[in-house]
Each structure stands twice: as structure tokens, then as C-alpha cells.
């Protein structure tokens, strides 16, 4: 392994350690005290921990290891060393944190005596005793941010989440239902266990909000904050539009030749990917360059190649 590759691997494992530690913080300090279950084996473990008190980490590892073994037998060794390391690190960090911290919520108004709770919307801290005033929405937002950053770091390290996702992968192999749909179904079933266990409709709703925030933050961590747009410009003023993109926007593109579907007229089209600010410049100048131009703009979740994100190195 050359020096650059070695440094890259060290950095990846640093991200993996940071992400695993942060995941434990989010689960023990924010998700579990509010009885939420945002999917995954740790979401189900939170419910089991409250119904039948035992450590979250122990419940989760008892599910994660068999799932990794079963997944490897059915799907092949596709999870990689980093996914196994991530599973063990999350277990270790969660075990230590719940042993030292317990399950006391971070966002609360402090424990007060039972004599002061009459007429107030308070709940008992699970497995801790004492009472606190819950702030479900603020806690959900913070938990979603922490979960999103932690899982985003794990993804950037080259690991996968494993856990309940393995169930979705196995079902996908035999049912041919899309993997995204199966992940949604499996995580939704886990989220609904909070309603069955605790009879509070708020819990699955807040868990779903958490999952949504988490997914958006994961995208930001993995893909960055830059937003790219891809534009398809059909124009009769090819040279004018081409020169503007090259000389004013300093971007390249690809030219296509086609035939209009309605009149059968030969038309030219430019395919170009731009940052949001450059797209605004292109649109505002197109009326001057070619008032008859036709433009189709689509979102681009990831752009790789010259001038954008580097192509991934071979593993």
C-alpha cells in the first residue's frame, strides 16, 4: 500500500470511529429517552430496552451479528471489513455510554419530585426515575441532526449501516421489490413498534420526522453542500450558446444532433452541468442568445469527472 493510500485508509477509519461514537450519543442521549425508534436494529432495541430493561447495545449486537452471518451466507461477503468494524464500534460506544450516562435525556427541564407533576405534561425518565418536561420537537430535530452526521461519516468512510438493511437486501433478492421500498417498509415496521408498545401516536410520527431530517443531513455530509443542475438546451443558435458557456461560465459540455418529434426538423442540443449560480446566469442570458430555445433542467445528486468530484479510486 502506497503512502497516499495508507493516509486515505487512516482518515477513513477516523471518520468511522467518529461516526460510530456520535451515533451512540444520538441513540442513548436523545432517541432512547424519548421512546423513539427511527428504524434499524438500534431503533428496535430502544423499544425492547424500555419494555424489558436490558442494555440497548446488547439487544442490538444480538441482532446485528446473526444478520451479518445470515447476510453473508445468502448474499455473499459483500459487507466488507469496515461494516463489521462499524457494527462492533457502535456496540462498544453505546455500551460504555449507557453504562456511564444511563438513559437520562439531554433536552429536558430537569428532574423534579412526583409531588410537583400534577396538571403538568410530564413523563417519567425510563430506567432512571424522576420526571421531566419533554420537548419532542426540539429533541427530534437535534437527534435527526446527530444521526444524520454520524451515519454520513460512516458512509463516507466506506462502510454501510448493515443491521436491518440486510433484511431488506435479502427480501430484495427473492421478491425483486426495489431496495429503497423494502428499506422503507422494514424501517416503518420498526417505527410502528413504538405505537404498539407505548400506545402514543406521537412517537412514530416524531420518529418519521427524525428519519427525514437524518436522510437530508446524510446527503449533505456525503455529497457536500454544493448543488448541481444539469441543463439540456435545444437551440438553433448553437454557436452563441456554446461560446457563452465556454467563455462566460467557463464550463464544458456535450453537443448532440437530433430531430424534432413534431416537425421532423433537425435540431441541436447542449448537455451541460452547472452549479446553481451559473445556471441562473445561463437562464437569464438565454432569452438574449436565443429567444426560441427550449431548456430542461434536472437536479444532479452527484457529479464526478474533470472539473467536479474526482472519480473513486479502485478498492
Distances (CA, A) of 107 to 97, 184, 215, 307: 17, 28, 22, 44
3-state secondary structure of 122: coil
Same domain assignment for residues 145 and 278: no
Centre a 10 Å sphere on the Cβ of residue 21 and count the other Cβ atoms it contains.
18
Same domain? For 37 and 104 the reply is yes
CA–CA gap between residue 64 and residue 70 (Å, rounded): 10
- Kindly state whether residue 261 falls inside one of the protein's structural domains: yes
Per-residue pLDDT, 146: 95
**In which element (H, E) is residue 259 found?**
strand 254-259
Rounded to an integer, what distance in angstroms lies between the CA atom of residue 176 and that of residue 302? 26
Whether residue 104 sits in one domain with residue 86: yes
Using the 3D structure, point to which of 204, 223, 242 is the last residue of a domain: 223
pLDDT of res. 61: 94
Give pLDDT, residue 115.
46
Range(s) of the domain holding residue 277 = 228-300
| Long-range contacts formed by 110-117: CB under 8 A, 24+ apart | none
The CATH number of whichever domain residue 241 belongs to comes to 3.30.70.120
Q: Which of 196, 223, 250 is the last residue of a domain?
A: 223
Summarised one tens digit per residue, pLDDT across range 166-198 is: 888 788 778 877 766 787 788 888 999 999 988
Q: What is the pLDDT of residue 63?
A: 92
Q: Within the chain, which residues score under 50 in pLDDT?
A: 113-117, 315
Cα separation of 173 and 180, whole Å?
A: 13
- CA atoms of 61 and 38, how far apart (whole Å): 17
Q: Which of 223, 248, 280 is the last residue of a domain?
A: 223
Q: Report yes or no on 174 lying in a domain.
A: yes
Residue 83 shares a structural domain with residue 114: yes
Structurally, the chain folds into a number of domains equal to 2
pLDDT at 117: 46
Give domain status of residue 85, yes or no.
Answer: yes
Amino acid at each position: 500500500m502506497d503512502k497516499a493510500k495508507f493516509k486515505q485508509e487512516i482518515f477513513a477509519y477516523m471518520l468511522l470511529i467518529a461516526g460510530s461514537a456520535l451515533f451512540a450519543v444520538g441513540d442513548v442521549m436523545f432517541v432512547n429517552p424519548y421512546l423513539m425508534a427511527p428504524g434499524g436494529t438500534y431503533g428496535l432495541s430502544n423499544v425492547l430496552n424500555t419494555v424489558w430493561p436490558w442494555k440497548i447495545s446488547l439487544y442490538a449486537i444480538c441482532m446485528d451479528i446473526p444478520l451479518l452471518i445470515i447476510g453473508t451466507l445468502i448474499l455473499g461477503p459483500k459487507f466488507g471489513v469496515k461494516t463489521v468494524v462499524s457494527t462492533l464500534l457502535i456496540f462498544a460506544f453505546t455500551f460504555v455510554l449507557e453504562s456511564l450516562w444511563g438513559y437520562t435525556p439531554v433536552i429536558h427541564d430537569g428532574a423534579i419530585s412526583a409531588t410537583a407533576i400534577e396538571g403538568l405534561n410530564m413523563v417519567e425518565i425510563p430506567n432512571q426515575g424522576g420526571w421531566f418536561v419533554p420537548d419532542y420537537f426540539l429533541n427530534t430535530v437535534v437527534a435527526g441532526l446527530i444521526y444524520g452526521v454520524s451515519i454520513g461519516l460512516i458512509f463516507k468512510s466506506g462502510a454501510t449501516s448493515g443491521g436491518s438493511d440486510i433484511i431488506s437486501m435479502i427480501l430484495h433478492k427473492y421478491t425483486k421489490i426495489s431496495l429503497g421500498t423494502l428499506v422503507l417498509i422494514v424501517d416503518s415496521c420498526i417505527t410502528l413498534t413504538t405505537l404498539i408498545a407505548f400506545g402514543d401516536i406521537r412517537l412514530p410520527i416524531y420518529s418519521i420526522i427524525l428519519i427525514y431530517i437524518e436522510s437530508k443531513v446524510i446527503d449533505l455530509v456525503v455529497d457536500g453542500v454544493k448543488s448541481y443542475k444539469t441543463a439540456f438546451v435545444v437551440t438553433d443558435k448553437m454557436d452563441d450558446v456554446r461560446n457563452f458557456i465556454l467563455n462566460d461560465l467557463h464550463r464544458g459540455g456535450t453537443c448532440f444532433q437530433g430531430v424534432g418529434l413534431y416537425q421532423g426538423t433537425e435540431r441541436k442540443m447542449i448537455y451541460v452541468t452547472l452549479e446553481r449560480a451559473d445556471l441562473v446566469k445561463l437562464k437569464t442570458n438565454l432569452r438574449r442568445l436565443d429567444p426560441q430555445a427550449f431548456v430542461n433542467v434536472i437536479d444532479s445528486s452527484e457529479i464526478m469527472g474533470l472539473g467536479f468530484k474526482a472519480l473513486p479510486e479502485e478498492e
